Amino acid sequence: MLVGPGEAAMAIDGLAWALRLYPDTIAWVREDKTNDGTFEKLDKFARSYDGRVFLESNPAPQGYSGIATSMFRLYESLINRFPKLEMVIQLDPDACILREGIVELARERFAKHGPGLIGSYMISPSGAARDHRPWRNRLIRDLLPVGPDLKTKRLRVGLPFYVRYLFRAFKNNYKLGHHVLASFYILHGDTIRALQENGFWAAMPDAGSRLVKLDDPLLSLGAFAVGHKLIELNDTSAGDIRTWIQFRPPIPLSAKEIMDRRLIAIHPVKADKNGSALRAELRALLNEVTLG
């Protein structure tokens, strides 16, 4: 999990629940060199979990426009520390794991499709088709040899770092801009190792790419570059949709509807009035189920 300023309470709530549901897992957290008390809250939380929570910080704040850089550095340090890990479940601080079943779902999908990246890919949780054209267009602009840098607000000359991986991805049937939504996805350990071995994590410059500031399109491209796949999370042929992962709030479901559908993860549940109320109601209902 990557945590920015003001996100400590959401992050701690989500991580505590996940660690409780999945006692054999660890949490790897990278915070964005915050100075508002976020690090101190996360550090206190990590110390209370007796080696199950690993906390690191960016050398300097990256902000929203540096999310991709922060996530690449996170994966690089994670795989160096745990080179034999089976999989990673990536959570945004405003994502909530609600039940057991994620690891089992991931193992089933990986066994069927091979290693890669499981996430909301071609189908949204409502059943509508996801549109990959906005990222395709942004990648096309990013690939121009001269273009604006969203982070520095200056012109940058040259090609982005991922060009050499892009050609490999195309050979493996990658379609420009296709990606899984970054808010919640599951990454196979073999994919993380393959990207490490191919220098993908280290290839990301500290300044990132000009127009591609989020990790989901770049990580999806990388999966294809090493011959792995994007795997549909919302696969109705495999049974009921088990998650509700969308980009912007609000989630169009009540706490009761989420419970009735037996969803195992949702996003986003923000720290605003509505999000906090939904989170509290879900926790109360889930406690009745798990502890009653």
- Separation between Cα atoms, residue 54 and residue 42, nearest integer Å: 10
How many CB atoms are located within 10 Å of the residue 244 CB? 24
Q: Note the pTM of the prediction, 2 decimals.
A: 0.94
- Separation between Cα atoms, residue 168 and residue 173, nearest integer Å: 9
Angle at 29 between CA 217 and CA 84, to 5 degrees: 80
- Separation between Cα atoms, residue 122 and residue 230, nearest integer Å: 9
How does DSSP assign 92-139, residue by residue?
Answer: -TT-EE-SS-HHHHHHHHHHHH-SEEEES-SB-TTSPBPP-HHHHHHH
- State in Å, rounded, how far the first CA of the chain is from the last one: 30
Query: Which residues does the chain have with pLDDT short of 70?
Result: 150-151, 289-292
Q: How far is CA 10 from CA 18, 32, 47, 190, 278, in A?
A: 12, 15, 18, 30, 12
Q: Please provide the size of the chain in residues.
A: 292
Give residue 291's pLDDT: 38
- Separation between Cα atoms, residue 39 and residue 31, nearest integer Å: 7
Domain architecture of the chain: domains with CATH: 2-124+132-243 (3.90.550)
Give residue 225's pLDDT: 98
- Separation between Cα atoms, residue 64 and residue 226, nearest integer Å: 27
Give residue 150's pLDDT: 67
